Chains A and B, each alone.
Chain A
């Protein structure tokens, strides 16, 4: 059968049409693809109960017990719980400790994976061991992601202007995610908003609350500080019953102190009086000054609520010692510091009752994982809240052998690595 051949002109027109169709298809595909930051353009991955967005929602129970005292102390439900499980699940992964140590000492490094992402941990204050350990937790978590090619760390040494400038530098460098603890609270809001405009996910940990989570930045991770305050109040109501207590806080206006103090006071029973509420900048010498002043004015004070366990041990114990008074008081603290536990043990004072929560170093892992999931298109809740359960020093001591004084035994930095960090 004879099939007529196409004329040359028709062949040319057919070829042009096919080429134009191909170009149109590529253009449409490119428009629909978008960047990894534009979450609306990224096609959501199929989620399943076991994981999504590059994560597996499963964690080793031993890790959960170490970090949280109890596996039940995860966020109770939904995406918050999944993110926490994913984050703690990564803590079991093997990483290169030599690289982690190098990264920690040099305030950043290239991971050597060839990954395209750059993540930054930027903070206004980084000069105590709690912050050093959080920094290592961040690095260890980042090293579990093959997609992360570079890790950056900056501390502004308590200088607000420098903190803002460091943040802006990260935005200018177009890092892919920023994790921070906002010591200056809403004073840092402008740079948070700049990062949001640049579509860089910003997450905080240890309840580093700045106004507008979910809008001005991705999420805040931590415990519900109002519930922390109420938990403190419960202990004071049970053991102090009546009399004077005092509140100590960190930097004036910081979100953590403001949060729990606001909620502890109304939850106390009427016979307990809060005779003082003083900032200490989380500085042990300021704690000593403040405690000695309050003790001078109120010699029968029966309880102290504060966040910083080691500061209490170093400052308040010294104040009582200088005043020649025994430390017969109830302490409710947020951080679990080895030094606090050991100092309390050395006092051998049954009238000293210490209740503590967790320092929460590992929460930074959750903050980073939340940012990484955001980059993959996940919808991150504005607050990732952990339940609270205060521990009794008498039943579960913070004084754990082998740990440096300023460290927390709930940290997920392996002991071997801690000893290399602090030989």
Chain B
């Protein structure tokens, strides 16, 4: 027997092709269920709450799903490195108020206000990254604590602000509707596409994915694993700040609850999209679709007239079902099914040869 197979000949080309297709299917399968689920959701909405698919509803859904998607992209980068980040609401809260405070109603100061917001995102992300990536602290606890500190700082900063409106140019941008769709949606789509292309088609992006998929192998290959973890949190913080900018434009004014609903929703979107919380591959586009599904579901329940309590119940149940049929679990199942079964009585090849 030689390395090519039991008969000593090469594995047929068709076999290699089939194996390659199966591997691609396995990898792609983890991200497929959310597309199917979103399609089913739209079908259900068309039957039980058709108003959810009308333009009035989309006018709300599209901008808000974009904000959730951008925040979820940041969370996705962290989850790919087997981490988690609970500082999202804090960054968005302080970032939002910085846009108001630094902007001070002046369109001329909008640029610097946005930079200040992004700066906070970068700084908080960097701190999280150092604490988790370098000092190896538990990300759940650390990012929660950092988030609380950021919220406290936001409250202190907000206390001195009576006016809560963003500069009018930001609000005008958010109200623009190129091709009858919110400009916020287009901005978010561009960001998502950029993240997807960077991860998939650039060397640094592939290295980032490799580190998440197998940190030990990546380390042995000479990749700086900790630097990638720090980068993940820093990039995540930047994306949360971007989400805050977009949300501030949509909302026009900031209030004490700004960003509060973005604690668990981005994590839910990432997991439902097929990423594994233990790290590894993820899809920016599928995360985007998951954000759409969650926002549309919320809107649908509201339009359907369910009580507030029932809305929470249905929403929670949908997330559980989404996780049960998530791509991560399906990929795991497929992997187990496709793994060749080892025979318990199989002897070593050398002995086999001798015996024949």
A292 to B56, CA, bound (A): 7
- Judged by a CB distance under 8 angstroms, whether A295 is at the interface is yes
Contact of A407 among B162, B257, B258 (CB under 8 A): B162
How far is it, in angstroms, between the C-alpha of A244 and the C-alpha of B309 when the chains are bound?
24
The reply to whether B64 and A289 form a contact with Cβ atoms under 8 Å apart is yes
Interface 0/1 of B244-257, CB less than 8 Å to A: 00010011110111
Find residues 157-176 in chain B having any chain A CB closer than 8 Å to their own CB.
158-165, 175
Residue of B56, B159, B260 with highest tally of chain A CB at under 10 A: B56
Known: A132-B159, A406-B164. A289 touches B255 (CB 8 A): no
Interface residues of chain A: helix, strand, loop or mixed (majority)? helix
Interface SS of chain B: helix, strand, loop or mixed?
helix
Which of B57, B247, B253, B309 has its CB near the most chain A CB atoms (within 10 A)? B253
Q: Which of B64, B164, B258 has most A Cβ within 10 Å?
A: B164
CB distance from A136 to the nearest CB of B (A): 12
- Tell me which residues across on chain A come within 8 A of B163, comparing CB atoms: 404-406, 422
The answer to whether A314 and B251 have CB atoms under 8 Å apart is yes
Whether the Cβ atoms of A321 and B175 lie closer than 8 Å is: yes
Residues of chain B in range 284-339 having any CB-CB distance to chain A below 8 Å: 298-299, 302-303, 305, 308-309
Q: How far is the CB of A101 from chain B (nearest CB, A)?
A: 12
The answer to whether B257 and A252 touch across the interface, beta carbons within 8 angstroms, is: no
- C-alpha gap A369/B162 in the complex (Å): 28
**Are B302's CB and A127's CB within 8 A?**
no
Judging by beta carbons under 8 Å apart, are A323 and B55 in contact?
A: yes
Residues on the B chain within 8 Å of A321, using CB: 175
Q: Work out how many contacts link A and B, with CB atoms closer than 8 A.
A: 107
Considering the complex, which residues of chain A in the window 117-170 have a beta carbon less than 8 Å from any beta carbon of chain B? Answer: 125, 127-129, 132, 157
Does A284 lie within 8 Å of B251, measured CB to CB?
Answer: yes
Chain A residues lying within 8 Å of B43, measured Cβ to Cβ, are none
Is B193 an interface residue when CB atoms closer than 8 A count as contact? no
In the complex where A278-B302, A290-B302 touch, is A299 in contact with B164 (Cβ < 8 A)? no
* Across-interface contacts of B298 in A (CB, < 8 A): 289
Known interface pairs A276-B305, A285-B257, A314-B252; A292-B59 also in contact (CB < 8 Å): yes
Contacts of A418 in B (CB 8 A): 162
Instruction: Assess whether A318 is in contact with B164, with CB atoms less than 8 Å apart.
Output: no
Give how many B residues have a beta carbon under 8 Å from the other chain's beta carbons. Answer: 40
| Given A289-B298, A292-B59, A296-B56, A128 contacting B162 (CB threshold 8 A) | no
CA distance A241 to B44 in the complex (A): 35
**Residue in contact with A283 in the complex, picked from B162, B257, B309, CB distance below 8 Å:** B257
Q: Using an 8 Å CB-CB cutoff, how does the interface string of A289-301 with B read, 1 for contact, 0 for none?
A: 1101111110100
**A323 and B56 contacting across the interface, CB-CB below 8 Å:** yes
Which residues of B lie under 8 Å from residue A421 when comparing CB positions?
Answer: 162
* Docked pose: A81 CA to B260 CA in angstroms: 42
Q: Mark A276-287, 1 if CB is under 8 A from B, else 0.
A: 101101011110
**Chain B residue at smallest Cβ distance from A285:** B251
Decide yes or no: A296 and B251 within 8 Å by CB, A285-B257, A404-B162 being known contacts.
Answer: no
Residues of A contacting B253 with CB < 8 Å? 284, 314, 405
Q: Given A285-B257, A314-B255, are A293 and B59 neighbors across the interface (CB < 8 Å)?
A: no
CB interface residues, B 225-269, toward A, < 8 Å: 247, 250-253, 255-258, 260-261
The reply to whether B160 and A423 contact each other, CB–CB distance below 8 Å, is yes
Within the complex, what minimum Cβ distance (angstroms) separates B57 from chain A?
Answer: 4
User: Could you tell me which residues of chain A, from 239 to 292, have a CB within 8 Å of some CB in chain B?
Assistant: 252, 276, 278-279, 281, 283-286, 288-290, 292
* B189 within 8 A of partner (CB): no
Contacts A293-B303, A325-B56; is A318 near B162 (CB within 8 Å)? no
Find chain B residues with CB under 8 A from A125 CB: 256
CB nearest neighbor in B for A291? B60
Scan residues 309-353 of chain A and give those whose CB is less than 8 A from a CB of chain B.
Answer: 314, 318-319, 321-325
CB distance from B167 to the nearest CB of A (A): 14
Taking A279-B308, A406-B162 as contacts, is the C-beta distance between A293 and B57 under 8 angstroms?
yes
C-alpha spacing A105/B303, complex, angstroms: 43
Q: Which residues of A contact B155 (CB under 8 A)?
A: 127, 157
A318 CA to B250 CA, complexed, in Å: 8
Residue of A nearest to B62 (CB): A322
Chain A residues positioned under 8 Å from B250 (CB to CB)? 318
17 contacts between A and B (CB under 8 A): A278-B302, A278-B308, A284-B253, A288-B60, A289-B299, A289-B302, A290-B302, A295-B56, A296-B57, A297-B51, A318-B251, A322-B59, A405-B163, A405-B165, A407-B162, A422-B163, A423-B160
Write the residues of chain A forming the contact surface with B, with a CB cutoff of 8 angstroms: 105, 125, 127-129, 132, 157, 252, 276, 278-279, 281, 283-286, 288-290, 292-297, 299, 314, 318-319, 321-325, 404-407, 418, 421-423
B contact residues vs A (CB 8 Å cutoff):
49, 51-52, 54-57, 59-60, 63-64, 155, 158-165, 175, 182, 247, 250-253, 255-258, 260-261, 298-299, 302-303, 305, 308-309
Contacts A252-B309, A284-B257, A418-B162 aside, 8 further interface pairs with beta carbons under 8 A come to A285-B255, A292-B299, A299-B56, A324-B55, A324-B59, A405-B162, A422-B162, A422-B163
